[in-house]
Structure 1
């Protein structure tokens, strides 16, 4: 359960970071460009950690689930995401 709570917290943080970046862009793109770049780099790191956590904890556990529907959804997500971290 702690892993799910951690992933949920990361989702919230990622959404907040995206909102922050949007606010900076809307505020004054030219003035805030270094702050925008910094926030994009932070978002990139947060996304990397989040995706690694999903790959390490979430999907392996879902693949072990007794419910075939859950297993199939997990397999589909894994196939769709592929090796996105290598991009």
Structure 2
């Protein structure tokens, strides 16, 4: 049985960054632009690390599992590639306080779209995918 506690802890950390971005945005995007940019940068390094560990260890290990789980793992990995690309674009665009301050509504729209996708994906992994892996 695979221990996924580390992945779950990283998920919780990512979610807390998302919540902090929401709090900062509610206080005023232009006003909190420096803190928001710092939060985006911190979250990005956490997400990059999490994804690389999943790609290097979790998914390859699951390819050796039973065919149903291997297929599900492949599906999750392929979906994540798209979400990861969207998030990468978001983090490159919004890691700059001046840009955030100059385009607060553009930042808000991007954050709502990208972070909602990320949040939903983490929820699905926690609720559906990880329990399936642990049951295998």
TM-score clears 0.5: yes
Unaligned runs of 5+ in 2: 90-136
Out of 14-23 and 69-78, give the one that drifted further: 69-78
TM-score (norm 2): 0.56
Distance 1:81 1:27 in 2: 31
Unaligned runs of 5+ in 1: none
Out of 75-84 and 38-47, give the one that drifted further: 75-84
Deviation at 1:77, TM superposition (A): 2.0
Q: Which runs of 4+ in 1 moved over 6 A?
A: none
Greater relative contact order (CA < 8 Å, ≥ 6 in sequence): 2
Distance 1:21 1:39 in 2: 7
Deviation at 1:79, TM superposition (A): 2.7
Distance 2:78 2:47 in 1: 18
Going from structure 1 to structure 2, the CA distance change for 1:82 and 1:32 (only over 3 Å counts) comes to closer
Count of aligned residue pairs for this structure pair: 85
Distance 1:72 1:13 in 2: 28
